[in-house]
């Protein structure tokens, strides 16, 4: 999780969506400002809908950081530690078995 001072509204870049959640003490706290006005940057990550997955492996082949594997030939598994949320797998999945979600 990255903490940073961010924009007041969620914004979208070409490849990722950043969202606003929660609030933490901002950097201006050092100089006496204590309004809780900043937010945590949280990235979406791929999540597999196992019931829909046909274990074709298309997602494995497009993932730039090798965070997907096929569990015993039954469904795909994402390693949330490695996933950078690029959503390439979501786009390629022919079974619509991947959603991009902010992990709880």
Partner 1 sequence: MSMNKSWKDKMWIFSVIYFSLGFFNIIFAWLGMLCFITPILMSIFGKEKAFCNSYCGRGQLFTLLGSGKKMSLNRNLPAFLKSRWFRYGFFIFFMIMFVNMLFATWAIFSGSGSLNASVRLFWTFDVPWEWANRTGESVPLWAIQFAYGFYSLMLTSLILGLLSMIIYKPRSWCVYCPMGTATQMICKIREEERL
CB of 74 to ligand SF4, least distance (A): 10
Q: Which is nearer to partner 1, 62 or 84 (CB)?
A: 62
Contact region for partner 1 (CB under 8 A) — 7-15, 33-41, 78-86, 92-100? Answer: 92-100
94 binds partner 1 (CB under 8 A): yes
First to last CA, the chain: 12
Q: Is 50 in the site for partner 1 (CB under 8 A)?
A: no
Neighbours of 15 (CB within 10 A): 10
CA within 13 Å, CB half, 60: 12
| Beta carbon nearer to ligand SF4, 24 or 84 | 84
Q: How far is CA 36 from CA 1, 3, 22, 50, in A?
A: 18, 13, 10, 39
* Residues lying near partner 1 in the complex (CB under 8 A): 52, 54-58, 60-61, 70, 72-74, 91-96
């Amino acid at each position: 999780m990255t903490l940073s001072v961010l924009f007041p509204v969620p914004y979208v870049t070409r490849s990722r969506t950043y969202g606003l959640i929660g609030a933490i003490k901002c950097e201006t706290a050092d100089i006496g400002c204590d309004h809780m006005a900043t937010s945590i940057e949280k990235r979406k990550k791929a999540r597999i809908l196992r019931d829909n997955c046909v274990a074709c492996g298309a997602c494995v082949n497009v993932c730039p950081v090798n965070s997907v594997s096929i569990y015993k030939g039954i469904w795909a598994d994402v390693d949330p530690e490695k996933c950078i949320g690029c959503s390439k797998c979501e786009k390629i999945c022919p079974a619509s078995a991947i959603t991009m979600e902010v992990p709880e």
